[in-house]
């Protein structure tokens, strides 16, 4: 898994957790993703360095504007691709798993074409 993919997965997880609770901690991210403390700590450090997240003195993680924008983009890809795969007859668990793989590698142009196709053929966005 590339750092880009890994970083995007962390950002998406922080977004999802922050919608459920105002206080997201590294331990919450690790539990949600099934990753160890050292892995999460390393990723948090890299995301902070890249200006994607901030942490406060209590260890709470928040997305920066740049991080939130990227997280929302990845989450949109995930939800649309999952729905599209389920519309094609793929079971929900497999669709979610495959969408998670696809969302990190698909180009912006291809994703926009998929969105337009879904829009034109009566699908929900």
DSSP string, 16-65: HHHHH-S-EEHHHHHHHHT--HHHHHHHHHHHHHTTSEEE-TT-EEEE-H
The answer as to whether 125 is a domain residue is no
Do 77 and 54 fall within a single domain?
no
Mean pLDDT of the chain: 91
pLDDT at 3: 53
Q: For the domain that residue 97 is a member of, what is the CATH number? A: 1.10.60.10
Do 44 and 58 fall within a single domain?
yes
Q: How confident is the model at residue 124 (pLDDT cuts 50, 70, 90)?
A: low
Q: What is the per-residue pLDDT across 21-38, written as a single tens digit (0 to 9) for each?
A: 988 999 999 999 999 999
Residue % of the chain over a pLDDT of 70: 95
The half-sphere exposure of 120 on its side-chain side, counting CA atoms within 13 A, is 6
The answer as to whether 88 is a domain residue is yes
Please state, in angstroms and rounded to a whole number, the distance separating the CA atoms of residues 94 and 63. 29
pLDDT at 123: 62
Do 65 and 77 fall within a single domain?
no
The whole domain housing 34 covers 3-69
* Residue 125 predicted with pLDDT over 60: no
Name the domain count of the chain: 2
Phi, psi of 24 (to 5 degrees): -105, 130
Q: From residue 70, how far is each of 31, 41, 47, 94 by CA, in Å?
A: 22, 20, 12, 24
pLDDT at 118: 87
Q: What is the per-residue pLDDT across 72-106, written as a single tens digit (0 to 9) for each?
A: 999 999 999 999 999 899 999 999 999 988 988 89
Q: How confident is the model at residue 4 (pLDDT cuts 50, 70, 90)?
A: confident
């Amino acid at each position: 898994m590339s750092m880009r993919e890994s970083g995007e997965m962390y950002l998406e997880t922080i977004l999802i957790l922050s919608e459920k609770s105002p206080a997201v901690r590294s331990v919450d991210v690790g539990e949600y993703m099934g990753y160890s403390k050292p892995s999460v700590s390393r990723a948090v450090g890299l995301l902070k360095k890249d200006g994607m997240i901030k942490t406060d003195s209590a260890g709470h993680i928040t997305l920066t504007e740049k991080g939130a924008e990227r997280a929302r983009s990845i989450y949109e890809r995930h939800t649309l691709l999952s729905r599209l795969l389920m519309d094609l007859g793929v079971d929900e668990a497999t669709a979610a798993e495959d969408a998670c793989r696809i969302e990190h590698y698909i180009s912006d142009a291809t994703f926009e074409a998929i969105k337009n196709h879904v829009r034109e053929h009566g699908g929900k966005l």
